[in-house]
A and B are shown apart, each in its own frame.
Chain A
């Protein structure tokens, strides 16, 4: 791997956008994903919680960066990180008088095309941009939801971390809040209903029932979704009207990420951790676990990962897939290792070993 300050991707190249507690890093590879160039740190000293790449008119990288001193914002680069534009004024702000102030931007997603960016933040709320991430406005319906007084922050804060939009029906949206639950809108975000039927009550931490950690669509059937909950791993086959447990066969029901294969329905990946406060790979043996039958059975994938003394922690946004063939998978650890697989998880190697603790790993294929 080489380090460079300027990246010049070509069509079909892969970008990895890696957010850490000390800045953002961008990795570039061709579609073989055999060699990566790195640029960064961008925003040194700031935490980078979220990222998204949008194309369309022109390529743009958005980063949800946070200065512990000067606050959180969505910054943008139109030259693959060579230069960045921080908004002059904060571009995600809660209404004056609401008593609520932005802490961090946990999710940046563009499921509605390159003009629209959705942001999930702490404290739990969703914002929408219609100008490619330059300005945002609050989703009032979710912010004023009657359940809000019952939402409670977890260790990471009160974060809205997962935003899904039905690929055929953009009026149908999902938002997952930790700890608040899963909410579905059937009217483009004008109203929201809780969708937690079937999630079991945690015997020690009742509030953790409503603590989704990551929510993903199935690749082929958007009525089907997969959930890594605080306690338990779940699948819904009916648009979150009910959930069934799919954790049987996993070494732990606890973890943060959930990743779905971009083309093969029923194929998903997770990274189990020892519950509840230890939160590292069980027995110090880090493994990605894959199911190819929608969670009915699981298999560990560990070729290239440590067989001992690997006390990895992988956070909810630090594991993702690209959409190349074969699919590439990438996860980052709190120890600063960035691992990648260019063969759908069959084997793994380190892309970077000594980054700051990794908060998010996002992928994009440059058009």
Chain B
């Protein structure tokens, strides 16, 4: 697990947070988002314990004291 702290001056969206983190960690953006800026299918973002998909997706609001988790899904059961 990698833990990052980010100082936010204002409320931001989840997408803006990812972009801000990616400025310091440039590999992160393309692994979390596809080239059209969509959250990858098997990646989930949790904001203060809630799945961002149910909070507006990448438009979900993040406050300065929010905790964000980026998780690979533990999905399975296919032919793989």
Instruction: State whether the Cβ of A140 lies closer than 8 Å to any Cβ in chain B.
Output: no
Q: Is the CB of B43 within 8 A of A69?
A: yes
> Which of B26, B27, B31 has the largest number of chain A CB atoms within 10 A?
B31
Within 8 A of A (CB), among B27-74: 27, 29-32, 34-38, 40, 42-43, 72-73
- Once A71-B30, A89-B29 are accepted as A-B contacts, the answer to whether A102 and B42 lie under 8 Å apart by CB is no
Given A68-B42, A69-B43, A70-B31, answer yes or no on A89-B36 (Cβ-Cβ < 8 Å).
no
Chain A contacts of B32 at CB under 8 A?
70
| A124 in contact (CB, < 8 A) | no
Cα-based distance from A21 to B43 in the complex (angstroms): 19
Chain A residue numbers with a CB within 8 Å of B26 are: 88-89
A99 and B37 CA atoms in complex are apart in Å by: 10
Taking CB atoms, residues of chain B closer than 8 Å to A68 are 42, 80
- B30 proximity list for chain A (CB < 8 A): 71, 89-90, 93
Q: Which of A68-89 contact B (CB under 8 A)?
A: 68-71, 88-89
- A102 and B35 in contact (CB under 8 A), knowing A68-B42, A69-B42? yes
Q: Tell yes or no: A150 within 8 A of B by CB.
A: no
Tell me, yes or no, whether A197 is within 8 Å of chain B by CB: no
Query: What residues on B are CB-neighbors of A209 within 8 Å?
Result: none
Contacts A69-B40, A88-B26; A96 near B35 (Cβ below 8 A): yes
Cβ contact within 8 Å between B34 and A71: yes
In the complex, whether A101 has a CB less than 8 A from a CB of chain B is: yes
* Interface membership of A47, Cβ < 8 A: yes
Chain A residues near B (Cβ < 8 Å): 21-22, 47, 67-71, 88-90, 93-102, 357
Given contacts A70-B32, A90-B35, A96-B35, 13 further A-B contacts (CB under 8 A): A21-B79, A68-B80, A69-B42, A70-B40, A71-B30, A71-B31, A71-B34, A88-B27, A93-B30, A94-B36, A97-B36, A99-B36, A100-B36
